[in-house]
Amino acid sequence: MYRGAAWLPTIEEMSITKQEEPEMFRISESQDESQTSSQDSSEVIPNVPDKLTDFPEDFNQLELLETHRHLIPIGTQSLWTPDSEEEEEEKNEEWFLSQEAKLKDNPKELLLFAAENNRLSTVQRILSCHPDLVNTVDDDHYTPLHRASYNGHLPIVRELIAGGADVHAVTMDGWTPLHSACKWNNTPVASFLLQHGADINAQTKGLLTPLHLASGNRGSRQILELLLMNRYIKPDLKNKVGETAFEIARRTDMYYYLFEICDYWIKPSGDITA
């Protein structure tokens, strides 16, 4: 029976037993089997555990997102956009000053806030009064240098390192400031950190190197060039699921061919050329 343009069942049709179900509603056993077969034959991703319980107890599963983000289904994007006045307020100098005023009695939090938001004069003022706070950490052990690095604030990074910031500081997950810079394609910051002793092959708790993180980004040509042209890079290091940075780049980034740069530095034996 039709209701307008759409078909709707009548009361009599709705009372049909399962055995008398109209053919249009039936799914044949062969069709059901073919669907099951199709699901069973889905592609198996190599080196990825079958279920979450297969991971080592100390494995940080959040880090798996950095190397297997492409496997996550992408839903419909939200059509919500922030109000223009709200966006303007976030960028307004008055707003930043009001936030700093709220933190004036908490120099630790103020320094973290200032480093993250590129507030150079505030960073300088705090370090002049509290130089011992240069390596302070938040709840996740991110230092001011981490925050400035993942946001690409080179002037802040310079100021912090000049004040004694530790380029080897690690978060709860084992990220160094270089990991933060490479994750967000902040090439100038990454270059500066390397010039000041950052470990290019540092590994997180999930054994991710800065190169792993850069390889998982799209449009990461500059950061990949920076890392791969460094003679001390070890591109064959594997993360906790057994993948090299090249394997990640090959499926997620159009610039995977840049790994050929390593052929100049690395001999077949793995030794660095003179």
Same fold, 92-175 and 200-274: yes
Q: Which fold has domain 200-274?
A: 1.25.40
Whether the per-residue pLDDT at 232 is higher than 60: the answer is: yes
Between 105 and 263, where is the model more confident? Answer: 105
The pTM (predicted TM-score) of the whole model is 0.67
Could you tell me which CATH class the domain 92-175 is placed in? mainly alpha
Q: What's the pLDDT at 219? A: 81
Whether the per-residue pLDDT at 82 is higher than 60: the answer is: no
Domain boundaries, the chain: 92-175, 200-274
Whether the per-residue pLDDT at 209 is higher than 80: the answer is: yes
Q: Which residues of 25-58 are buried (b: 16+ CB within 10 A; e: fewer)?
A: eeeeeeeeeeeeeeeeeeeeeeeeeeeeeebeee
Percent of the chain exceeding pLDDT 90 equals 56
Q: Which residues contact 197 (CB under 8 A, 6 or more apart)?
A: 167, 168
Question: What confidence category does residue 131 fall into, taking pLDDT thresholds of 50, 70 and 90?
Answer: very high
Whether the per-residue pLDDT at 49 is higher than 70: the answer is: no
Whether the per-residue pLDDT at 247 is higher than 90: the answer is: yes
| Number of neighbouring beta carbons within 10 Å of residue 5 | 5
Indicate the range of 28-37, 88-97, 200-209 predicted with least confidence: 28-37
**Average pLDDT value for residue range 248-256:** 85
Whether the per-residue pLDDT at 80 is higher than 80: the answer is: no
Whether the CB-CB separation of 117 and 79 falls below 8 Å is answered with no
**Average pLDDT value for residue range 267-274:** 43
Of 242, 186, 193, residue with least CA distance to 214 = 186
Whether the per-residue pLDDT at 197 is higher than 50: the answer is: yes
